[in-house]
Amino acid sequence: MDAINPATGRRIESYEDATESDVRDALDRAETAYESWRHRPLRERETLLADAADVLRENEERYARLMTEEMGKPISQARSEVQKCAWVCDHYAEHASAYLGDDHHPSPPGTTVKTSYEPLGTVLAVMPWNFPFWQVFRFAAPYLTAGNVGVLKHASNVPGCAEAIEEVFREAGYPDGVFQSLLAPSDLIDDILRDDRVKAATLTGSGPAGRAVASTAGEELKKTVLELGGSDPFVVLDDADLDAAVEVGAQARNQNGGQSCIAAKRFIVHDDVYDDFLDRFVDEMESFVVGDPTDEETDMGPQAREELMEELHGQVTASVEAGATLVTGGEPLNREGAFYPPTVLTDIPEGCPADDEELFGPVAAVFRAEDEEAAIETANDTEFGLGASVWTEDRERGERVAHRIEAGCTYVNQLTKSDPRVPFGGIGDSGYGRELSEVGITEFVNKKTIWVE
């Protein structure tokens, strides 16, 4: 398993793949750890999680540079990611006891009836490369604190990040086996899922990967949470603050090199402000500094892998050949590394990749909508349903439109984002289940009714 720097194409380090024997040993350790971890007082688990936040902060620069080297994230964004991981640890360290406290119910005189939240066991997490620390802590912080143990199968291009995350929990004082990073090839996932010692699974990734995990887990009657792709609409109505919509829209499209499930991807703009928005938006997109991700002045680094950039470029080319207009960008940069420029497409024909596929990179598809109703219809014209963003100066109008957009989360006058305090997840081809907040920590627990007569 080679870690390749996408900014240079050079190998950083090689790692040994986990074998079937390694997998068996890891699951044995997880099962052994679970028997004592599940009975550890919740307050102690919260304290350990707070300690994990401290480890993250103490090693922020080292972990940030590791992310930048392995997947090309600009160093300033990598530091922010480490800080966000510490935040989610802080959040559950403070609120897990409230989230997992017993719920009492009406019952006959002389009886006590309550719901108790008890862990399930070993949870398999199949995580992606685009936010190599945050995606993992988004599952680990709540699920471990609820009393489960975790086995991470991370993306193959960020093995150093996988090992560093295991280090965080080890340095924080977690018992051996409570959290393990398993550098296993993808063809072992099915066997891991079928193992009786694994009780549940969570995946963030592509639609095909999610369907494969859901199918196997379904056969084994194991709970899953899936956060898959998105083609998030960014709706700009005729009364929007265009300065804010342009600035935030470009950020929402290009952050993390555009490699985010909840990045703004389809910009749906009311006809009355379309031309003005497009002119400003193109200027803003072209202002992004693309280059060395270790440079503090860089806004956007390389795409995470050469083949991913080639796939993105193929989608752009196919869309233009189908009739879309290329306004800016659209060609890999003539330099070492997997660099692709901020790109804008307009006049998007129905059925081309920019219309009905997820563009996982800095490519914005801009659609014209004749009125509010048409904007909503275009926003919902997708199999995905992860996030959405609506822009209007009328807050009541924004909330009304937000209710009509079919997505797991819709933000008004704000970019779509994940936040430890609120549930996160999608519908349709964007998956099911929720992460974060109280809802997230209770996804992988046994909600047990206890009736005492």
Q: Which residues are catalytic?
A: 227, 261
The Cα 119–Cα 78 span in angstroms is: 32
- Contact 267/367 with Cβ under 8 angstroms? yes
Residue 433, helix vs strand vs coil? coil
The tally of CA atoms less than 13 A away on the side-chain side of residue 376 is 13
Q: What distance in Å separates the CA atoms of residue 274 and residue 269, rounded to the nearest whole number?
A: 5
Q: Is 175 exposed, middle or buried (0-12, 13-18, 19+ CB in 10 A)?
A: middle
If DSSP codes are grouped into helix, strand and coil, which group holds residue 283? helix
Q: Given the DSSP bridges, would you call strands 149-153 and 179-181 parallel, antiparallel or unpaired?
A: parallel
Could you tell me if 221 and 268 are in contact, meaning their C-beta atoms sit under 8 angstroms apart?
A: no
Q: Are strands 103-105 and 112-119 parallel, antiparallel or unpaired?
A: antiparallel
Distance CA 73, CA 256 (A): 6
Give yes or no for a contact between 341 and 45, defined as CB atoms under 8 angstroms apart: no
CA 296, CA 79: separation in Å to the nearest integer? 11
Q: Assess contact for 372 and 390: CB atoms under 8 A.
A: no
* Angle subtended by helix axes 242-254 and 274-286, to nearest 10: 50
Q: Measure the CA–CA gap between 372 and 390, rounded to whole angstroms.
A: 11
DSSP assignments along 261-293, one per residue: TTSEEEEEEETTTHHHHHHHHHHHHHT--BS-T
Paired with 108 in beta bridges are none
Element (H, E) at 346: strand 343-346
81 burial type by CB count under 10 A (0-12 exposed, 13-18 middle, 19+ buried) = buried
Cα–Cα distance measured from residue 129 to residue 337, given in angstroms and rounded to the nearest whole number: 17
Residue 163 to residues 128, 142, 190, 330, 416, Cα–Cα distance (Å): 14, 20, 22, 36, 29
| Dihedral (CA of 346, 350, 351, 355) sign | positive
